Amino acid sequence: MTSQDFGSQLTQTQDPDSQCQDSSPPWGFLFGDTCYIQLNQSKHSFSRTDLQIPKHADRKCQFAVEREVSQEDGSSIVFIKHKSLSTNTYLNGTQLKINSARSLQNWDKITLYQPNPADKSLILHYKEAGAEDCKYDKDLCEKYQVLEVLGSGSFAEVRKGIEKSSGKRVALKLIKNTAVATSNIKHEIDLLKSLQHNNIIKLVEYFEGPTTLAIVLEYASGGNLLEKVKNSRESRFSEALAKPIFTQLLQAIQYIHEKQIVHRDLKLENILLENSTSNNIKLTDFGVAKLFGAGERLGSFCGTYHFIAPEVLRTKFDDIEYGPAVDLWSCGVILFVMLSGDFPFESDDTCTLEARILAGQYDFDNPNWETVGNDSKDLIRKLLELDPQKRLTAEQALVHNWLQPEDEPILASPNRAVLGKRSEFRPPSPQRNRSVAVSTIEKENSTSQSNLWSCSPKQPNKPKKFCTESLVQSLSCDNF
């Protein structure tokens, strides 16, 4: 459906005799998650049905957008009027009174709050025709409307976008155009081109402008897994909910490993949900992913703290290599968080956190684990195995007892004898009020060669509050 089709559809529902045949050039646009509308009449009235709000087929007028043109100098003014007694309309965060007119300016935001708080509110933006609306590459801006920031990191930001011709939503990963960025982003694009899996975000296209590089990606509207854990009851998942999500993650990891790709930055924020009502996941952010095997060396220090494997940490002070098993360690951390709302390794002090990861120091003492079965804990232990040679692969994890139907237990993973029980280092610790929090790896200076095993805390451990925003960033790999 083109943007013109959107406009035709809307005007036909309003007044087919007087409006649907009008082909006047638009003087403005309204666009949001559900629609991209051309405004070419002196008055447009919109209901929730017109705006294609899911679950809400209400043809009563919600608000009207009107345009008055001066007979003297041809200047115009656009304003919005709220019309509904049962629902609210907000302009830039301020509630509109019924039948009151407010001037509508370029890039103003119109919000329609849903009757059910569990449903996402609809946000529309107004743009004047011909207004400069994009600071990025011209070709990108001609095809896509660039909207609000979805997330940002040290080297890139991700924004929501709308394809103007169809109203289709996309995610736009935008990076400042430099020689290093160009090389790295083309590497990411090459990897994404080779991946076709239901649980991996899809590449749509790529733009290279004089100042900005842009990767256009499939849009997953359900947010990320960190947000879903945070917003769930008790800030954790039941085993019944965690199983299908974790199975999809392992299937995606199995697929990329079969293609000789290691992700190297698996974390809750890089696992997206297809939409707000679905538990289908999409693995994203292959910015530090790399091929392994065939002479490729994996020895760079990169990833995100709390999720990083011990062998990656060791690259800070030893010239060692690692392999795809680092992704399975991160999967173990992710499963631990999903089931408990807690990190297996945590400290406010980086040095102490590293020591705990290197020692494999974690436990199931949190009361949340009292209602979790032994099979899930066994799977976590076999993923958080210090020896990467003994750590489960994605294929082996997928046939673990915990992920099988209850009436079809699998007693052992293929090609795997009974794993040795790892020793757990559990020094006394203060009572913890744990919750999910995320730290970013910070590049260490020459002191990173120090003995992490003998570190003493720089500050007392403090309870952490749940992350309130999706602001996790990763350290880009040294010697990529």
Architecture of domain 3-128: Sandwich (2.60)
Taking residue 65's Cβ as centre, other Cβ atoms within 10 Å add up to 22
Which pLDDT does position 308 carry in this prediction?
96
Which of 391, 371, 396, 384 lies closest to 424 in space, CA to CA? 384
Alpha helices per DSSP H over 278-421: 310-313, 325-340, 350-359, 374-383, 394-398
Quick one: average pLDDT of 403-417? 53
Cβ-Cβ contacts under 8 Å for 165 (sequence gap 6 or more): 2, 3, 143
Answer yes or no: is pLDDT of 37 > 80: yes
Q: Which residues pair with 86 in a beta bridge?
A: none
Is domain 138-218 in CATH 3.30.200.20, yes or no? yes
For the chain, what's the residue count? 480
pLDDT digits (tens, 9 = 90+) for 171-215: 999 988 777 777 888 888 999 999 999 999 999 999 988 778 899
- Pick from 97-106, 191-200, 336-345: least confident: 97-106
Range scoring the smallest mean pLDDT among 130-139, 224-233, 411-420: 411-420
The architecture of the domain spanning 225-454 is: Orthogonal Bundle (1.10)
* All CATH 3.30.200.20 domain ranges in the chain, comma separated: 138-218
Tell me the per-residue pLDDT of 347-360, one tens digit each, with 9 for 90 and over. 999 999 999 999 99
Answer positive or negative: Cα dihedral of 309, 382, 436, 275: positive
Residue 37 to residues 11, 44, 237: CA-CA distances in angstroms? 10, 10, 40
Token pair listed for 2: 């083109």
pLDDT recorded at residue 392 = 98
The secondary element (H helix, E strand) that includes residue 69 is strand 61-69
Location of each CATH 1.10.510.10 domain in the chain: 225-454
Active site members: 265
Chain region(s) in the chain for CATH 2.60.200.20? 3-128
pLDDT given for residue 25 in this prediction: 86
Instruction: Grade residue 386 by pLDDT with cuts at 50, 70 and 90.
Output: very high
What rounded mean pLDDT belongs to the chain? Answer: 77
